Chains A and B, each alone.
Chain A
């Protein structure tokens, strides 16, 4: 009896997931009330001591809490108690805005760098120095100059997503097959029309690969940036729940960050497939 590879892989995935949940459950189950402890001290220690409950939430606790969140994703009880949907929306909004500005800057600039060897050589030292800077290192400078924490976070997203897009666009544009350019040249196609009808479609898969790398980095960075600037967003939520010592909520946030990151990546992957044509 042989199943398709997909099915077999799915079965293994489910088994691994079940095993993980099982181990997690066993590791965090109640060990019974602590003995040999003075009742006064046990009261101070809370449930851990009085009922032997693990300090780490088990899968059932996380599942119940997750269900609670999913039922009310958009409630708003003031600055420190907002639904996860609202927090995620803030984060996605910041990422979207910073990323969009990065697209608007990086793609035209990448075209210029890719098409002009002079500009490419002239900008190269700046790009080489600016690219490896951790985006969070810009945060103090951004806060000092912009004087708005939310806009600073957007700036940090912009600065971290601009480089992969810029470099990939330049690489894709510079690497367009010479024959395609020659086709346009023999047809006396002007520079602007050539850029849109030959270079852009030819470089599109490379450009979108850069955009896909960028959205991944942007989503990594937003969590850290929001932990710093605070106020709203999923990063802030993680830090706030850590201050509340609600490990359950921290785990839920981690899970959701992963799922949203995967979705963003999949969206870009789909766009990449749409513009990729085999020769």
Chain B
């Protein structure tokens, strides 16, 4: 970690880390500690006094059907976004790795959605799926499918999953393509000589060799779907209709910022904090180790 040849200086290194450390302490660690503290407080009805209640806020969450619903919604949402994003990213990258014509054109265009903000992606799809003006809604109505994400919870969920995954496909595509290009040609040639067709080569050679990338992307996509999709939800469904897309991050915001139930919102924050910590630990412990072709 430290260079063998290095400097010694009584103040300079502290000055160099000071800005980063100041921001970290003031805007990250202190608020996180505050969240922990607030999660054990209850405010009285008039907001005049607070009472220390240990883990009561957490216990109440467990009995709260709204919260349990939000966990379920989050699970469906994150798993779908991750699966759809990784699946399509891998599929497109495999195809892009094969072709020679237009290769760079495909690449440039497929990468661009990464630049689109999650909220903007949400609005684009909201427009396409909007029952009065959306072209996709129009086509579906033409096919006799009743479609209205503004009132139907399932439709709303499908819409936000597509909007969230659409943006993330680019990210996965970049990593899979880089992964595919780093696989030695000789391995694939050897498999081809042994008589394996393209399909078989993919499942027995290429896919196992991509497993470190896939695993890394799974963690990153889960983090994305858990947290960054706040914007997608806020800009499109606001958690509705009737809480059908009220993912956990959105609920923290709504309960705390709109509902002003600080104790409960803080407790929910802390639950989320544990989820990120768990995901980060998984990422650093296992991704570093490079899950490779486990037979």
Do chains A and B stick together as partners? no
